[in-house]
């Protein structure tokens, strides 16, 4: 798809209600002849008439094309408008934009995913892609472990995906900050789940969630011996154009929409975002 200022129209084929605040919108371009592909970790600029435009991570695998999943948390005018839409409605999309996760480096690796809340969305794209590729290539990933934290059991998102991953051999470990009468699992911060995880030189860790969570997870991974170039995360900045023109996502000489949003910790330490890399 052309990376220009004119959005392509996409129709909502399905809506999956993940929890009270998050829904996954399964889209398909109305012009099926328009070429479109992406890599896990990239994002789209999503627009609704009279409500503006926002950068949204793609949460599906490119192997699912022509369907494209955008998992969206209701937070402002645009996202509230999207949550009010129904199957068959149309939105505008531009992209894909940004640098993706280095999928080629994940072959024959042990992958560790650490996520909080909606932060599982961009990591979901990687997990689904790796599972799809595992049945096709000799150099598939060795193992996949997911550590996922939510505020309460009701806040857990992507339950369908997690159940599917478990059936495919993914080691999924969930925790909540506050339990209720239905919860029999772990209670506490997601960093606490790292104490039972084996880290080796073959491990690649992917982290996404609230900034404070990312900071402490990266610190814990470093303490466990995970190298700076083996830990990857995504930076959330308020991106306006997605093309490096407006400069709105400028950070210490970089444009997150072009140079990111995916960075390893070694790259982060060269930027003015040391709170993530301590």
Residues 187-226 have pLDDT tens digits of: 999 999 999 999 999 999 999 999 899 999 999 999 999 9
pLDDT-based confidence at residue 250 (cuts at 50, 70, 90) = confident
| Same domain flag for 115 and 199 | yes
% residues pLDDT > 70 (the chain): 91
Domain residues for the domain of 174 are 103-234
- pLDDT at 4 > cutoff 50: yes
> Mean pLDDT for the chain?
89
Specify the pLDDT at position 254: 74
pLDDT-based confidence at residue 242 (cuts at 50, 70, 90) = confident
Tell me phi and psi for residue 218, to 5 degrees: -60, -40
Q: What is the pLDDT of residues 65-102, one digit of tens each?
A: 999 999 999 988 999 999 999 999 999 999 999 999 99
| Same domain flag for 177 and 222 | yes
| Same domain flag for 229 and 191 | yes
| Same domain flag for 108 and 85 | no
- Structural domain includes residue 263: no
Specify the pLDDT at position 141: 84
Q: Which pTM was predicted?
A: 0.91
| Same domain flag for 114 and 227 | yes
Are the beta carbons of 11 and 28 closer than 8 angstroms? yes
Among the candidates 66, 97, 128, a domain finishes at: 97
Neighbours of 271 (CB within 10 A): 18
For residue 56, list its beta bridge partners.
44
**CB within 8 A of 12, min separation 6: which ones?**
25, 26, 27, 85, 86, 87, 88, 89, 90, 91
> Residue 58's domain is classified under what CATH number?
2.40.30.10
Specify the pLDDT at position 39: 96
- pLDDT at 117 > cutoff 70: yes
- Structural domain includes residue 244: no
| Same domain flag for 88 and 115 | no
Taking residues 121-143, report their average pLDDT: 84
Among the candidates 43, 66, 97, a domain finishes at: 97
What is the count of structural domains for the chain?
2
pLDDT-based confidence at residue 267 (cuts at 50, 70, 90) = confident
> Residue 153's domain is classified under what CATH number?
3.40.50.80
| Same domain flag for 157 and 224 | yes
Among the candidates 48, 70, 97, a domain finishes at: 97
| Same domain flag for 150 and 188 | yes
- pLDDT at 237 > cutoff 70: no
- Structural domain includes residue 269: no
Specify the pLDDT at position 128: 95
| Same domain flag for 46 and 107 | no
Specify the pLDDT at position 238: 67
Specify the pLDDT at position 102: 95
- Structural domain includes residue 247: no
- Structural domain includes residue 108: yes
- Structural domain includes residue 261: no
CA distance 11 to 13: 6
């Amino acid at each position: 798809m052309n990376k220009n200022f004119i959005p392509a129209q996409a129709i909502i084929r399905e809506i999956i209600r993940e929890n009270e605040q998050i829904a996954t919108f399964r889209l398909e371009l109305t012009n099926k002849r328009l070429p479109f592909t992406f890599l896990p970790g990239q994002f789209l600029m999503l627009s609704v008439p009279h409500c503006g435009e926002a950068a949204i991570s793609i949460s599906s695998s490119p192997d699912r094309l022509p369907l494209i999943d955008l998992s969206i948390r209701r937070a402002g005018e645009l996202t509230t408008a999207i949550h009010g839409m129904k199957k068959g409605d149309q939105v505008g999309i531009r992209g894909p934009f940004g640098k993706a996760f280095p999928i080629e480096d994940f072959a024959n690796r042990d992958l560790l995913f650490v996520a909080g809340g909606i932060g599982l969305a961009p990591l979901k794209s990687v997990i689904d892609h790796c599972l799809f590729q595992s049945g096709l290539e000799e150099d598939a990933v060795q193992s996949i472990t997911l550590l996922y934290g939510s505020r309460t059991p009701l806040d857990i998102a992507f339950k369908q995906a997690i159940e599917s991953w478990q059936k495919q051999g993914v080691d999924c470990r969930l925790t909540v900050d506050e339990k209720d009468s239905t919860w029999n699992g772990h209670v506490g911060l997601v960093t606490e789940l790292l104490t039972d995880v084996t880290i080796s030189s073959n491990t690649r860790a992917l982290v996404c969630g609230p900034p404070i969570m990312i900071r402490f997870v990266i610190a814990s991974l470093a303490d466990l011996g995970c190298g700076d170039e083996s830990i990857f995360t995504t930076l959330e900045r308020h991106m306006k154009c997605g093309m490096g023109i407006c400069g709105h996502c400028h950070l210490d000489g970089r444009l997150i929409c072009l140079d990111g949003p995916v960075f390893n910790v070694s790259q982060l330490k060269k930027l003015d975002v040391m709170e993530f890399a301590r």
